[in-house]
Amino acid sequence: VVNNRMSNYLMQKLEEQGVPTHYVEECNERDTLVKKVEIVPLEVIIRNKACGSFSKRYGVAEGTELSIPTIEFSYKNDALGDPMINDMQITAIGIATIQELKTITESALKINELMKKFFIERDIILVDFKIEFGKYQNKIILADEVSPDTCRLWDANTKQKLDKDRFRRDLGGVEEAYEEVWKRIISK
Ligand code: TMP
């Protein structure tokens, strides 16, 4: 319920700032009407600080500020275990065209800037996040969800985790953290 609310709220805020999204209407607390996209089978991951698999892969301490935001892609394919994939490979096997990938990359960086600002105004650091895009009427739009399930969010003062890492790392207080994020989202 709280993710439905948060994702819809964030999508509307992004839409107001020129990011096309799938959002149409919140039907009730659990259901949302969205544009029926053809999903681009990529997990688009944007990172501002090292954390999670990035820290493990490159041996960079969690919380280290990255000098530029980074983007990486995973090919959404359960049978293959969602392998990491680069721009040329994506184009070579026909997951997205060069132009589509350019649109996705530019949009992802813009979403990062907008969300970073949105969250820091609420004393939350946007560490990293995953988004997905879909094709709708020949246009690439933001789809899927944006919530503490798909973003790493840290309290700006205490660095306390307010996202799904509380569940992934067995830290407890998952629902309280999500409610706290929602409270701060609507505080302004
Ligand atoms: P990672 O550090 O595990 O690669 O995760 C990076 C970000 O992407 C983090 O905010 C969690 C999010 N994410 C998802 O939402 N779904 C996924 O399947 C994965 C692998 C990451």
Q: How far is the CA of 88 from the centre of ligand 1 (A)?
A: 22
Q: Is 13 helix (H, G, I), strand (E, B) or coil?
A: helix
pLDDT tens digit string along 167-176? 999 999 999 9
CA–CA gap between residue 123 and residue 110 (Å, rounded): 20
The DSSP code for 80 is G
Ligand 1 atom closest to Cα of residue 127: 10
For a substitution probing ligand 1, which of 43, 45, 116 has the most ligand atoms within 8 Å of its CB? 45
Ligand 1 atom closest to Cα of residue 52: 2
CB-count burial class (<10 Å; 0-12, 13-18, 19+) for 33: exposed
Ligand 1 atom closest to Cα of residue 51: 2
Q: 165: pLDDT confidence band, cut at 50, 70 and 90?
A: very high
Range 5-8 contact pairs with CB under 8 angstroms and sequence separation of 24 or more:
5/29, 5/182, 6/146, 6/147, 6/148, 6/178, 6/181, 6/182, 6/185, 7/32, 7/145, 7/146, 7/147, 8/32
Ligand 1 atom closest to Cα of residue 164: 11
Among residues 9, 113, 89, 110, the alpha carbon closest in space to that of 41 is found at: 89
Atom 21 (ligand 1) nearest CA: 130
The DSSP code for 172 is S
**CB of 54 closer than 6 angstroms to any ligand 1 atom:** yes
Count helices and strands in the chain by DSSP H and E runs: 6, 9
Say how many C-beta atoms besides its own lie within 10 A of residue 46's C-beta: 22
Predicted local confidence at residue 16, as pLDDT: 98
Predicted local confidence at residue 84, as pLDDT: 98
pLDDT tens digit string along 109-155? 999 999 999 999 999 999 999 999 999 999 999 999 999 999 999 99
pLDDT tens digit string along 89-122? 999 999 999 999 999 999 999 999 999 999 999 9
Predicted local confidence at residue 77, as pLDDT: 98
What are the DSSP calls for 88-156, one per residue? HHHHHTTSS-HHHHHHHHHHHHHHHHHHHHHHHTTTEEEEEEEEEEEEETTEEEEES--STTTEEEEET
For a substitution probing ligand 1, which of 47, 150, 153 has the most ligand atoms within 8 Å of its CB? 150
Supply the pTM of this predicted model. 0.98
